Structure 1
Amino acid sequence: MFHPWGILRALAHIRLSWVVMPDGAPGRTNGIDIIWLNKALDQVERRCALTHELIHIEREHTGCQSATVEAEVRAEAARRLIPLDQLIKGLRWARSHSELADELWVTPEVLQDRFDHLGDAEWQTLLDVELQH
Structure 2
Amino acid sequence: MPESVTPWNPWAELARRTHLRLVWTDRGRRGCLEFATGEIRMRRAMPRHESRCVVAHELVHDERGGVPRWLVPREERAVRHEAARRLIPLDDLACAVQWSPHLPEVAEDLGVDVATLRARLCGLTADERRRLTRCPRPD
Measure the CA separation in 1 of the matches of 2:136 and 2:79.
29
Alignment of 1:46-85 (within 5 A): 46-61=51-66, 66-85=72-91
Query: 31, 42, 47: which one pairs with 1:42?
Result: 47
Paired positions, count: 131
Query: 99, 106, 109: which one pairs with 2:112?
Result: 106
Q: SS state of the match for residue 134, structure 2?
A: helix
**Could you tell me which residue of structure 1 aligns to residue 96 of structure 2?**
90
Q: Which 4+ residue blocks in structure 1 deviate beyond 3 angstroms? A: 62-65, 130-133
TM-score (norm. length: structure 1): 0.89
**2:22–2:42 CA contact under 8 A, matched in 1:** yes
C-alpha RMSD of matched pairs (Å):
2.0
Measure the CA separation in 2 of the matches of 1:17 and 1:28.
10
Query: 6, 13, 32: which one pairs with 1:28?
Result: 32
Consecutive unaligned residues in structure 2, runs of 5 or more: 1-6
Measure the CA separation in 1 of the matches of 2:9 and 2:132.
25
Amino acid at match of 1:45: E
| 1:31 shift after superposition | 2.8
Deviations 1:67-106 (A, max 9, x none): 1110000000110010100001111212411110000000
Measure the CA separation in 2 of the matches of 1:100 and 1:114.
12
**1:30–1:62 CA contact under 8 A, matched in 2:** no
Consecutive unaligned residues in structure 1, runs of 5 or more: none
| 1:30 shift after superposition | 1.6
TM-score (norm. length: structure 2): 0.86
**Could you tell me which residue of structure 2 aligns to residue 127 of structure 1?**
133
| 1:2 shift after superposition | 1.8
**1:35–1:53 CA contact under 8 A, matched in 2:** yes
